[in-house]
Amino acid sequence: MGVVAPVLPVVAGIVAGFVAGGFSVCAAEGAGMMCAVSALVAEPALFFAWVVVEPQAASASAAASVVNGSSRERINARRLPKEARLLRRVIRITIARGLTREGHVRASWTAVGCYALVAAASQLLWLTYAPLTTASAHYYHVSETAIGWLAEIFPLLYVVLAIPAGRLLDRWFHNTLAFGALLTAVGGLVRLAGSDYRWALFGQVLVAVAQPLVLNAVTKIAVEYLPAERKPQGIAIGSAGIFAGMLLALVLGAALGGHEIRLLLVVEAAFSLAAGAALSLMLIRHGAGAARTERVGVGADALREVWSFPGVRLLSALLFLGFGAFVALTTWLQALLHHYRISADTAGALLAAMVLAGAVGSAVLPPIVVRRGAARSLVGASIAAVIVGCTVLALVRVIAVDALMLVPMGMLLLVDLPVLLELSERSAGAAAGTVASLLWLAGQLGGLVIALLVQALVHHPTAAFLLLAGVGVLALPLLARLGGLLEASREDTEALGPAYSAP
């Protein structure tokens, strides 16, 4: 048994390694490999010493170290022909791959999952008070306007901090993201310090400062931890976490209600702390093994260079209009439908259905869209949904029709985000964090501008919905340009080919 124990993982490693690609290396050597096999058969004791006796075959890390060589390996290598030495190296590499690849992949996806939880926590803390504005005003003994500022400071600070946060992520990714995750958790904890409004404001400011550090990493986390063929899934999962956090805020607010604000803050703080600690631990433990990307500069010249990347301006414009329309719609939907005599509870249910459809769609659909090269069709469907849906909402005041328009509109607009982020990542390279920050910044600015325009028409719902339909019309010329961008990046997509299939 003392010999069998180390043999089993060795055999498993050889099989797994050859399946992963080691066999193709051997086959390429043709007859030379036959000579190598003959040498090994003629010297079984030497083969036994190579693979069984040497202690590094017993563990993944030791097996990997064999590739670098040792004094015993060099001595034994002199006794074999060139082909045998080559086969020996292939076996060693494939053993290492077979023993380590599964754990590395698992750790990589765990890091992406932990990031999605932190992204959800960031959105959850942002929208804590949005569904409980009146009750929160009574709890803190302030006006409803003051409660509104607890959410409104987020887009304002994001506009200021988005670009610096992106540059920091490109320069020091692991440390910057870990800091953002922990700062998010600290902000949630600070809100528990007391029932004074100043503690709530201070906590929200901390979370708002951390938000760009977290959201801008949605593409970078996939670049750092996943192989190229899995990046669309990674970006989709991160984006779904962002939208799931928004949905969770609405659900928790409705479930706990205005009489349990303290309990709501405790639950959200615990969730944020657990998510932040998990991601920080993953970044510390596995950061050294993640893919390394080139560090980029942080000056104005480097930023101008990033702004000149193919498609960045076009994708920013699309997100300005599309994500801006979504933000404006979710911000003012309840007030607009109130004029149609639709209750706040019903409007809230419609809003939750929109976000739920978007969260599920953004987790499932982007890899399929990327694999089939259907990004332009998706964006076109989103534009059509906005134009048709908002026109119908302006003219028809039937709740079933409203739901039929709102749910697919919300899903398509949110699925657009990870698809466009993945498209930008293809040309971003080491500047993935900065490019993501530019796109997020465009979306946030669009939300501010379009929401302010809708706010001016909040007492005239027909005009407000027609304004949103006009936003969709403005995006039509961009759709034609998107086709040219996709054609230019077709080589990259074809190079990945079937590897874009779902895991």
pLDDT band at 334 (very low <50, low <70, confident <90, very high): confident
Please compute Rg for the chain using Cα positions.
27
In terms of pLDDT, which residue wins out, 239 or 87?
239
CA–CA distance, 149 with 152 (Å, rounded to integer): 5
The encoded tokens of residue 465 equal: 């919905």
pLDDT of 448 reads: 83
Q: Quick one: angle between helices 461-474 and 375-395, nearest 10?
A: 160
pLDDT in tens, 383-418: 999 999 999 999 988 888 888 899 999 899 988 888
Residues of the chain with CATH 1.20.1250.20: 308-503
Contacts 24+ apart (CB under 8 A), 262-269: 262/195, 264/128, 264/132, 265/128, 265/188, 265/191, 265/192, 266/192, 268/121, 268/124, 268/125, 268/128, 268/188, 269/185, 269/188, 269/189, 269/191, 269/192
The encoded tokens of residue 206 equal: 């901390």
Q: What one-letter code names the amino acid at 189?
A: L
Q: Mean of the pLDDT values across residues 86-105? A: 46
pLDDT of 308 reads: 64
Residue 353: partners with Cβ closer than 8 Å, 6 or more residues away:
403, 406, 407, 410
In terms of pLDDT, which residue wins out, 311 or 249?
249
pTM to 2 decimal places: 0.65
Task: Answer yes or no: are the C-beta atoms of 239 and 436 closer than 8 Å.
Answer: no
pLDDT of 85 reads: 54
Tell me which DSSP letter residue 30 carries: T
Q: Hey, is 471 helix, strand or coil?
A: helix
Q: Mean of the pLDDT values across residues 40-57? A: 38
The encoded tokens of residue 222 equal: 């996939």
Task: Answer yes or no: are the C-beta atoms of 306 and 162 closer than 8 Å.
Answer: no
Task: Please report, for residues 77, 204, 389, 458, the alpha-carbon distance to residue 324 in angstroms, rounded to integers and kept in the order given.
Answer: 65, 22, 16, 16
Q: What angle do CA 366, 370, 376 make, to 5 degrees?
A: 95
Q: Mean of the pLDDT values across residues 305-322? A: 80
If we measure between CA atoms, which residue out of 176, 166, 242 comes closest to residue 425?
Answer: 166
pLDDT in tens, 155-177: 888 888 888 888 888 888 888 99
Residue carrying structure tokens 């320069």: 171
142-154 core/surface letters (b: 16 or more CB in 10 A; e: else): beeeebeebbebb
CA–CA distance, 16 with 24 (Å, rounded to integer): 13
pLDDT band at 475 (very low <50, low <70, confident <90, very high): very high
Task: Answer yes or no: are the C-beta atoms of 210 and 187 closer than 8 Å.
Answer: yes
Q: What one-letter code names the amino acid at 257?
A: G
Task: Please report, for residues 318, 395, 489, the alpha-carbon distance to residue 327 in angstroms, rounded to integers and kept in the order given.
Answer: 14, 21, 29
Pick the CATH number of 308-503 from 1.10.150.80, 1.10.4160.10, 3.20.20.80, 1.20.1250.20: 1.20.1250.20
**pLDDT at residue 341 above 60?**
yes
If we measure between CA atoms, which residue out of 166, 175, 249 comes closest to residue 439?
Answer: 166
pLDDT of 41 reads: 36
